[in-house]
Structure 1
Amino acid sequence: MTTQSIRPHPDISLHQLRIFTAVAHAATLTEAAKQLGIAQPSLSQQLSRLETLVGARLFNRRPGEMELTEAGLYLLPKAEHVLRGMRDLEDGLMEYTTGRRVTIRLAGITSVLRVLLPPALRQLQTRFPDIDFDIQDMAPSDILELLYDRRIAVGLLADSSLAASGGGFAQIPLLTDSHVLAVPGHLDLSKVERPERDLPPETLALLNQSIQFAFGTQHTKRVENWYERLFPDHTVVAQCRSFEVAAELVRAGAGVCLVPALSLLHGAETLKGIRLYAVNAAPRHIMAVIPTQYQHVEPYRTFLDTLKDAAQTIVLPQVQPIPPFLDGGPQAKF
């Protein structure tokens, strides 16, 4: 009689198993989301996707309570076994990296990769000449997905995409950035108190042409709300998935855009043909997110140090003061 091995469903990811076990041991979905460092809507979506793949409900959902079903009780010890095995595998493999060629797999948002990574990479290679990099440029939600599935070791993104630290990951602060209103270079807003009164019709029309982002995050919704409050007559002329593409559209005179100042840097130079204005917004903090067991092991420890060193050399673009019409109290805050 032969014994068949049980194979995991090919579509079930480690990320989903981590979410399932966190929810099983947490008092609430909110607590589980904080432990994992992800937004609650993303957690709920992944949990529902796992239940669809399994073909059974894993929790009985009641107000303020998530109770495991029979299927959930069956899955929990097996999921924990898989996750323990993966942690043991990662820890064991780290012992073999010294003296061997290592590939650092990372993903980040474009502005951070373009500005911080080149100097950090050059510095690291002088210490570890056998290192190479696998670099992916993508949206924050995709970066987090790769991190949780352990397909990358380092994620570079803004803190607005992260929940509280947890889930076995360390969040290393690198750089503080700010949001600015980018407008074509000829558009002077320094003395504009009421755009409809102080600007000629063609300039007012340009100011009301907004270029926005489609990241599918809470940040995107905040940007939309900001435009609705301060530019009630605006029209969205373009949606982008790259701050850099949006900046080029602004420079070409297609509209205006709320962007992080870091995205306007090309090397050490600020993108020409664009004027930048401050807005009432909290600063954006750029983080390196890495599994906790990696942050004190070479070459990752030195890589984090080189990122910090590179961040200290960054000179952000010059920004003009907030235009009068954007400095209108609480409703003007982003």
Structure 2
Amino acid sequence: MNDLARKIDGPELRLAAAAGPELTLRKLRAFWAVAQSQSLTGAAKLLGIAQPSLSQQIIGLEQSLGFALFTRRSNRMILTEAGILLLRKAEPVLRGMQELEDTLATYASGARHPLRLAGVESLLRTILPEALKHLDLDGTTECDLLEGAPADVLEMLYSRRADIGLLAANSVSEASTGFLQIPIMNDPTVLAVPEAVDLGAVRRLEDLPEEQQAILNASIQIAFGTQHSRRIESWFAEMLPRNRMTARVRSFETALSMVRAGLGVCIVPALSVAQAPGLRLYHAGMEPRRIVALIQPAQHRAGRHAAVIEALRAAGRAVRLPPIAPLPPLLARP
């Protein structure tokens, strides 16, 4: 253990906590929110407080501990080594306090809160209905379904506005989750093209009619975060180097409707294709989406949460994907 880890684990931090009000739950929550959002603006929105007040809390916490928790880079707040170590210690404390507050609130109200599930649209639409259909939640429990992008789902989990999250593990940073990741299914990544474009036996782009070449050389891309966008751009640069992005959209449905209209091609997860009329789907040779359920470790085996997780896993095994053809010879690389 290095000196910094000893300081955070050892008597210095305990003495700071005992010396006075400097190390409070309020400041720990502020620290945690900035660590997750990587910005004061996002953290202030998450906590519902003014940004100057949040900034003062972080500065005060750093001063009371005696070391920097963040490196300031433009508009981003990056955890230092000290910040990473403190986050590991703070998360269990904050999680336990939130569970205590939830328990007391439930006891005081005499009622159980709705079971809150957050997820991306394509998963809520395909996996969740099948799971809920076979789930007996004792006849008294309501389900509150919350839709959002992967970052939104994480924010809802961290802020305890959702109990279970449903998303692709490879759509978020592995370091950004303090939750158990329960595998649900693998969702193949596919190239969607208009039905008229049959690539089954095509080995060279020049073998296609000029109109179909133009379609393959136009892409509709979905703006779902920098990491995802870079993967898609790299795929097109390698597989169809003459392809140019003609539109950036915010939903799979919009992208697929443009493909059906012959305006280009797109890369999507197979589950996003509710039905395939007007489309041909080909395996893209990319890593599939690893669909997982995210849940607090303490809730994993607890009553209705465990039942929902098992129902989601069963639904993942039962999902029927649309027909997907093999990777076309045109896209095969030696």
TM-score, normalization: structure 1? 0.74
Larger relative helix fraction = 2
1:307 match: secondary structure: helix
Q: Does 1:296 align with 2:305?
A: no
Distance 1:238 1:153 in 2: 36
Q: Does 1:104 align with 2:104?
A: no
Distance 2:309 2:316 in 1: 11
Distance 2:138 2:243 in 1: 51
Q: Does 1:231 align with 2:247?
A: no
- Equivalent residue in structure 1 for 2:32, among 15, 18, 23: 18
Q: Does 1:320 align with 2:321?
A: no
Question: What is residue 32 of structure 1 aligned with on the other side?
Answer: none
CA 1:19–1:100 in structure 2 vs 1: closer, same or farther (change >3 Å)? Answer: closer
- Equivalent residue in structure 1 for 2:262, among 249, 253, 258: 253
Moved more, 156-165 or 128-137: 156-165
Question: What is residue 156 of structure 2 aligned with on the other side?
Answer: 146
Moved more, 216-225 or 87-96: 87-96
Aligned-residue offset at 1:271: 2.4
Question: What is residue 200 of structure 1 aligned with on the other side?
Answer: 209
Aligned-residue offset at 1:251: 1.6
Asked if structure 1 preserves the Cα contact closer than 8 Å seen for 2:283 and 2:324, the reply is yes
TM-score, normalization: structure 2? 0.74
Aligned-residue offset at 1:111: 1.3
Aligned-residue offset at 1:311: 1.5
Moved more, 78-87 or 104-113: 78-87
- How do 1:1-334 and structure 2 match up within 5 A? 14=29, 17-18=31-32, 44-45=38-39, 53-55=54-56, 57=59, 58=62, 59=68, 66=81, 84-90=96-102, 100-124=111-135, 126-164=136-174, 168-195=178-205, 197-265=206-274, 270-329=275-334
Distance 1:80 1:306 in 2: 27
Deviations 1:218-242 (CA, angstroms, capped at 9, x unpaired): 1221111111222222222222222
Asked if structure 1 preserves the Cα contact closer than 8 Å seen for 2:167 and 2:291, the reply is yes
Distance 2:93 2:273 in 1: 47
Identical amino acids, percent of aligned pairs: 35
Distance 1:13 1:107 in 2: 25
1:289 match: secondary structure: strand
Aligned-residue offset at 1:210: 0.5
Distance 1:80 1:47 in 2: 24
CA 1:105–1:61 in structure 2 vs 1: closer, same or farther (change >3 Å)? Answer: closer
Structure 1 portions without partners, runs of 5+: 1-5, 24-41, 330-334
Asked if structure 1 preserves the Cα contact closer than 8 Å seen for 2:219 and 2:243, the reply is yes
Deviations 1:103-123 (CA, angstroms, capped at 9, x unpaired): 111211111111111121222
1:293 match: secondary structure: helix
Aligned-residue offset at 1:194: 2.0
Distance 2:149 2:254 in 1: 14
CA 1:301–1:244 in structure 2 vs 1: closer, same or farther (change >3 Å)? Answer: same
Aligned-residue offset at 1:142: 0.9
Deviations 1:124-180 (CA, angstroms, capped at 9, x unpaired): 2x4421121221221111111111111111110001123447854111111111101
Distance 2:93 2:294 in 1: 25
Distance 2:108 2:69 in 1: 44
Distance 1:171 1:78 in 2: 20
1:115 match: secondary structure: helix
CA RMSD of aligned residues (A): 3.8
CA 1:13–1:110 in structure 2 vs 1: closer, same or farther (change >3 Å)? Answer: farther
State the number of aligned residues: 289
